[in-house]
Amino acid sequence: MEGVLWKWTNYLSGWQPRWFVLDNGVLAYYKSQEEVHQGSKGALKMSVCEIAVHPTDQTRFDLIIPHEQHFYVKAATPAERQTWVVALGTAKACLADSRNRKEQGLEESKETLKGKMSELRLYCDLLLQQVSNIKTAATDPDQGVGTGTVYLYKLFFSYWTSPEKTDQKNLMLHESSSLLSATCDTFIRTMNECMKLADNSFTPQI
């Protein structure tokens, strides 16, 4: 939104027309519309600004940054003032809502990250267990009977001359390798998700 508002300057000059532009939550003013390209004379972030309508002057409203700055402005008509006040109030509310959503999203991201880290520890335990089973089987085929991978190696070393046992060994090896591969894939995928969540949670907003 943009248009002419009268801004109080000082007791010598009084109310002076200025070109105001509300854009992306920032209200900037210029000496005139023709001088916009020269840069603004001042600006207010609506997120930190309070809006107050004058109790007796139906065309005036004040923009206040507590303990810092006051802007006194007037519109041409009460209806115009109403349009500006609504637009400014909406901009302020949208900024507050966006900030709240970001804060809420940050908390949700942190909770999701905690859950993913717990899930990651579970997959890590599974990987360690499966790798340990394979190492045990490879170094001592007589240990660990009862697990698929270890039993595979026992069968191989005990009945290596039997085609039937060799086929069984190959099948069990394939199943164990597939299980380990799937766990690795899940582990890596979950780790990537954790990294993305960490980036979103702890990257400062500029």
Backbone torsions φ then ψ of 159, nearest 5 degrees: -130, 45
Q: Which among 49, 147, 158 has a CA at the least distance from the CA of 93?
A: 49
**Among candidates 24, 21, 19, 25, which has minimal Cα distance to 7?**
19
pLDDT in tens, the chain (206 residues): 899 999 998 889 899 999 999 988 889 999 888 888 888 888 888 888 888 888 888 899 999 888 888 889 999 998 888 888 888 887 877 665 555 555 555 565 666 666 566 556 656 666 666 666 655 555 544 444 445 545 545 544 554 445 565 566 566 656 666 666 666 776 666 666 666 666 665 554 44
Same domain, 113 and 150: yes
* 184 & 125 share domain: yes
Range(s) of the domain holding residue 112: 104-202
Does residue 86 fall inside a structural domain?
Answer: no
| Count of Cβ atoms closer than 10 Å to residue 176 Cβ | 20
